[in-house]
Structure 1
């Protein structure tokens, strides 16, 4: 539940993207996988430096000058006097920047004859660059739980209730915006802190000094945060309910009216603010059967304190006794090194790590073309192996031929199911001939009939001058025709909508001419 509410707070819509959109956006990070990715990063930093002074569209000379300015401050800026244009073009191909043609920048006839390209960040490209910069700038020591934020949230909720009660529209918008920003920051900080803490705890076996150095400050920090959360959580619950008593719908309408985002309609702004308010409410109020977001955070922090104390006890005992996993592995390595021969070393390592011999079996798949010859044994699907080679290692013989068995009951059942399926198809075809395929939602049986007839019609289509003119497909019940239609049509099914640009479907009985 905590993950769902965190996703609601930051307005993420990544789960709604299809595979094509995800692939396009992953393409924005192609520059990080190139051999000279550092050079591309400095090119984008130079463009970001120009963007900060409102130089939106820049050419290669502007980027080169910005790189020279950066080189005066940073020693690792590469020299890109020759390949700068090719790198900018590669970034444009990835979609991280836009490439435009601007002939007004040509001061001479020679420059005018050459391509005069200017570049500017795309919106998604700039976000991808900032995301990479955030990852590069992240530091473990920056992680913390903000315990002072609860008093600010309580003050904003009280002021929000007063503003909504008095009808102060601008103040409602300011307080809601501030609450949204504070909540996003708190969710981000808490998630970052617990991920960092888990990483520190899991890596203490190789570097316990880092954990032991900050153990006291870490325990005090988490204890103070939990105490502050326990003190403010009942007050925040009451404050949220006080705001709701002033009218949530009125609150959302006022916030949407004061919202000046030009690319959203009033209804979309109201929906956006409602989503934010519901996420904020879920953080501080409990629902039947669900823990609030703050309660989940308190439980996670309490578990983290217990894990830190347990790990501290484990490290203390290990230091007192002088035996831990690192010392055990060092002793084992010394024993293996001092063994008289390779067989003794292998036997010792097998006993230490409980290694046993494996019997390798192999065989061919029933459909050889289904499995790629480049697939590894780990990725390839398994096959059935007889018990004889598995138990003895010898190939099994063919054995005696088995008599052919006739299962009349199974045949009768199969025939009955075939008759039922065919009857259902005929009933669906008659329904299509009677009611048509447009203007309603087709069920699964009707959809299968339409798709089958449409496939036959496309296979028997007539193409004139490179364009499809007509086509028809039939079975023993109905006939489907592709009729040219300048408007086009669509067929609605339970699984979605199928669009037919330039055509409509005409379904008639095989012996009749009624339009479907």
Structure 2
């Protein structure tokens, strides 16, 4: 009789290798996360993943023992064997008889196994890796991704022009669209993760005070730089999207990419593969358009992100101010309550705690309601302990007006009215000065007809700030197919008309703080308050 090798004393794990085959997937490969010694199980599975990257298929128990981290490696190799057996039971690993080192009949009957990852075990580790990566992601505002999106949109315009001439290239269209959507998805996901981590930073959740104060300046500069790129490139991206959507160019490019993907589909799925691929590409394009182009009744995600990033800067500065106030010794209610709680915990007995409570919150007997000079003199002459029962104490005389209205007015001369005429005069002078500066800025920006941005020349800080607000409002109103945007400032005092140029020239506007550069446009700025008295213009 031919001897048969001993089978492992466990359930056959092979059905767990394809948990989705019956339509009811098994989640047993995740059981090691909640079992005792879960850290050892995770280390064992990571050892198998590392070996797979080196194209090693099978591992023996001694190989796994050596591959474990030295600081967490069990001293007894049998602990690794037990962990391997448990992972086999859960379906993470598969055990096969190890007959390569059999030299005698006794070795053939002895339990010797080699282990390898199952499909379910590998899928579970990939899911856990994605989970760990998502938890550790802080995200970033990728200004470089904005430039890449502009580059890919321009490439799609070139491909669309070739298509108009009757020479479409599906490979180029598919590659450009793939790169575009990948960069956009990375931009959107990282922006979401960054704003979430930024809010946690503002709330000082998981961030040390010293660490926050050390990098706050770089964080604010980072936000300001991204906001500037988003203002300048966001409008350009919206314009390029509008050009691609003219005459159905974007839809034609999406169909080219879908047809190229469907070419590799299985024969039984060829009929529906192109339809599904086109629906997938159309959804991605719609998401890209909604991210940068505002629709009627809803703002674009780029504009919402810009507002959120702008709002984060004063919040960061407020946190810095609060931290500096704490360091300077100014009153902080939360710190006071923590100190008071520590005093309560350190009090020797309940009597001391009651005294501390009365001293901290002023919960004295109600006799203080009518404390005046006469009352103090009477209390000095005839002291009354605070523990005196009400029935034995002298009755309090309360004013009928206090009982009726809740307020008590003392007799005597009224307080003198403070003269604030000097403060009002200073405020009036400040308001006049600000109005004059704003009027001068409006007059400086107002153009006599249409001119180029590059012709505006040098601007002072007030005029440059007003110009940036006007430019941001104009760029935010771009719609697909538009070449000219007309908008009015929030206070209704200025109107700007911005028209694109096709010559590719750049504009430079010099300010005391630096040089502002961007693509040149035709601009017409009108001061709507011209001819209105200054007090009415305010």
Q: Within the alignment, does 1:304 sit opposite 2:302 as a pair?
A: no
Shift of 1:343: 4.7
Equivalent position of 1:439 in the other structure: none
Shift of 1:307: 1.5
Counterparts in 2 of 1:47 and 1:299: CA distance versus 1, 3 Å = same
Equivalent position of 1:318 in the other structure: 326
Q: Within the alignment, does 1:269 sit opposite 2:277 as a pair?
A: yes
Report the secondary structure of 1:290's partner residue. Answer: coil
CA contact (8 A) 1:229 1:298 kept: yes
Instruction: Give runs of aligned pairs for residues 226-375 of structure 1, distance below 5 A.
Output: 226-245=227-246, 247-259=249-261, 262=265, 265-325=273-333, 327-333=335-341, 335-336=343-344, 339=347, 341-345=349-353, 348=356
Counterparts in 2 of 1:312 and 1:117: CA distance versus 1, 3 Å = same
Equivalent position of 1:156 in the other structure: 152
Larger Rg: 2
Equivalent position of 2:78 in the other structure: 82
Residue correspondences, number:
326
CA contact (8 A) 1:205 1:326 kept: no
Bigger relative contact order, structure 1 or 2, given CA contacts below 8 A and separation 6+?
2
What do residues 210-234 of structure 1 show as CA deviations (whole Å, max 9, x unaligned)?
2211111111111111111011111
Deviates further, 275-284 or 124-133: 124-133
What do residues 178-236 of structure 1 show as CA deviations (whole Å, max 9, x unaligned)?
12221222123212222222222222799422221111111111111111101111110
- Give TM-score, length-normalised by structure 2: 0.52
Counterparts in 2 of 1:116 and 1:165: CA distance versus 1, 3 Å = farther
Counterparts in 2 of 1:172 and 1:197: CA distance versus 1, 3 Å = same
Instruction: Give runs of aligned pairs for residues 87-486 of structure 1, distance below 5 A.
Output: 87-94=83-90, 97=92, 99=94, 116=113, 118-122=115-119, 124-134=123-133, 138=136, 143-166=139-162, 167-203=168-204, 207-245=208-246, 247-259=249-261, 262=265, 265-325=273-333, 327-333=335-341, 335-336=343-344, 339=347, 341-345=349-353, 348=356
Counterparts in 2 of 1:178 and 1:106: CA distance versus 1, 3 Å = farther
Distance in 2 (CA, whole Å) between partners of 1:182 and 1:354 is 62
Q: Any unmatched runs of 5+ in structure 1?
A: 1-20, 356-516
Distance in 1 (CA, whole Å) between partners of 2:309 and 2:209 is 21
CA contact (8 A) 1:101 1:118 kept: yes
Distance in 2 (CA, whole Å) between partners of 1:201 and 1:215 is 10
Distance in 1 (CA, whole Å) between partners of 2:24 and 2:354 is 48
Equivalent position of 2:413 in the other structure: none
CA contact (8 A) 1:284 1:294 kept: yes
CA contact (8 A) 1:286 1:292 kept: yes
Shift of 1:276: 1.9
Equivalent position of 2:58 in the other structure: 58
Q: CA RMSD in A?
A: 3.8
Equivalent position of 1:44 in the other structure: 45
CA contact (8 A) 2:65 2:77 kept: no
Shift of 1:59: 4.2
Equivalent position of 2:369 in the other structure: none
CA contact (8 A) 2:149 2:180 kept: yes
Q: Any unmatched runs of 5+ in structure 2?
A: 1-22, 163-167, 364-538
Distance in 2 (CA, whole Å) between partners of 1:228 and 1:38 is 45
- Give TM-score, length-normalised by structure 1: 0.54
CA contact (8 A) 1:46 1:70 kept: yes
